[in-house]
Structure 1
């Protein structure tokens, strides 16, 4: 018998009912994250905020370490988040966060700010315009966790501010990682720069995690992280594990287009003016005084010039 609502949610409150039902019950295979074995490389946390390049960076990280270890890429998986697990959904998915990974270093997904991640490791973050994030976040949930069309973009605000499972609001996340932009243990870039300059980002990330790639291997990773390649393999980036659990526990068919790799990017111009004004007000209140940047374009220009 299905738990929760037995259907997709129609409001943020209903979505919480379904999420609590997903977390209920026994999880015999679950193990929380634990530090790597003595002598092993420090872990890498891919800690972008939701819809800010997490999936691209998971794929880039995994293909870099596989190319360095084996000389080849690796698409032999059902879900990229099985290759780089996420602590905040591991209980629901009954995942063992301590299980061996296919290559070193170990990698993990997160949407958290620095202060709530294990200290002493390495952190990869791409930052994205908050308005683009809003549109992309809405597109992702509409028709998957939320019944398509049931929630307007205006009424999506509470989910945007929640940051997703285990996350934080966009502004807390951005300020946390902006403060880490010069830290040796953190690789911080803008999402747009990383997407447009993938080859340069691959070289930077490979050096950051201590992976040695020859030019042909860089070519391979560049090809495997293109929008075209990832969209052609979008079933590896569609939260297949979560879809299966939702079907088993909630009775929601795993037939929605939950892929995180869309054929086209999200356009901030489609954001309702009332939501754009809210985001601008929070930027002026919280981000501008701390960074000196009046908007994301100014902030990302500083990052991109580094």
Structure 2
């Protein structure tokens, strides 16, 4: 049966959605989604559903391309060096600006949350899938103390009235739901220009997954597949390293640029990092049985027929 949500839950979720409506301008979002790679089939777009490993992949790819034997942590926030396509314009970033070591590598790296139909064409794509229960609770924690105050919105209300309400985008101005985003890229999982990864595999054997990423982003002009490059990127993308450098991964770039436009305090969310517990499977422990059931039903509705798998676990196990 549906959750018995209070009117205050609904009002607070509506207020959060209103704030979110100011996060991107139409001009800014479309300029990113209409981007044409300068170097076709060499540039890399990390495209995940929100809270499925985007920041992690930004750090891995950035350290793999670093020319320094000690890597590069000279940036203020990771999206200043691996720009978020949909938000770059609104953050004052020029998509034509040269990226780190580009003259040597021909490599330009981007972040995006676009599903496949809306993602810029002519690049290579790294897709990361993650357990939907973990994504849901991580998304809630990400917005808490930023787009809403702690305990202002319940987890049940957030997931039911916001996260599960997303569907197929009606235009490029909307993000696809977690499920539709994943399905759109699942259809291309075997294409040569797509690297399809799982968050849980990154957790269980990071070096193995970094090795795959290094091979994928290397090109005819340049390679980052040496053992030293892989070892460095693995070390600098570990949970321990990233949590000890959390100020580089705290979404401060977008918060500084867009908080006021969203009707938020200038410093809203500035104290939080995106590097949280470093665990997988926590969502199932923190979500109610009813909520897990709703997420499972949504998976079956969107994913099961085309993928042949009734759960995320089965999809991952049989990949």
The CA deviation string for residues 256-288 of structure 1, in whole angstroms up to 9 with x for no partner, is 443111134343221122221111111122211
- Aligned pair count? 290
Partner of 1:7: none
- In the alignment, which residue of structure 1 is the partner of 2:8? none
**TM superposition score normalised by structure 2:** 0.82
Q: Which residue of 2 aligns with 1:198?
A: 206
Contact 1:135 1:271 in 2 (8 A): yes
Correspondence list, 1:261-272, <5 A: 261-265=275-279, 266-272=282-288
The Cα of 1:254 is off from its aligned counterpart by: 4.4
**Comparing 205-214 and 221-230, the one that deviates more:** 205-214
Residues 12-62 of structure 1 deviation map (CA, whole Å, 9 limit, x = unaligned): 3222333344557998xx96463233x576221100111111111110011
Q: Deviations over 1:53-83 (max 9, x none)?
A: 11111100111111xx344411111111111
What's the counterpart of residue 81 of structure 1? Answer: 79
Q: Which residue of 2 aligns with 1:6?
A: none
Residues 86 and 25 (structure 1), Cα distance of their counterparts in 2 relative to 1, 3 Å cut: closer
Name the counterpart of 2:163.
160
1:94 matched residue in structure 2? 92
The alpha carbon displacement at 1:228 in A equals 0.5
1:284 aligns with 2:285: no
Structure 2 partner of 1:230? 242
C-alpha distance in structure 2 between counterparts of 1:298 and 1:218, whole Å:
30
- SS class of match (2:195): strand
Counterpart of 2:5 in structure 1 is none
The residue aligned with 1:17 is 18
Structure 1 position 125 matched with structure 2 position 141: no
Separation in structure 1 between the aligned mates of residue 277 and residue 250 of structure 2, nearest angstrom: 13
The alpha carbon displacement at 1:213 in A equals 3.5
Matches within 5 A, 1:99-178: 99-104=97-102, 105-157=107-159, 158-161=161-164, 162=166, 166-178=174-186
What is residue 274 of structure 2 aligned with on the other side?
Answer: 260
Cα RMSD after superposing both structures: 2.7
Q: Deviations over 1:95-136 (max 9, x none)?
A: 222221113311111112111112221000110111111111
TM-score, normalised by the number of residues in structure 1: 0.85
Counterpart position of 1:186: 194
Deviates more, 1:10-19 or 1:225-234: 10-19
Q: Secondary structure at the match of 2:86?
A: helix
Q: CA deviation at 1:194?
A: 1.9
Q: 2:3 maps to which residue?
A: none
Alignment gaps of 5+ in structure 2: 1-10
Contact 2:145 2:269 in 1 (8 A): no
- For 2:312 and 2:211, the matched residues in 1 are separated by 25
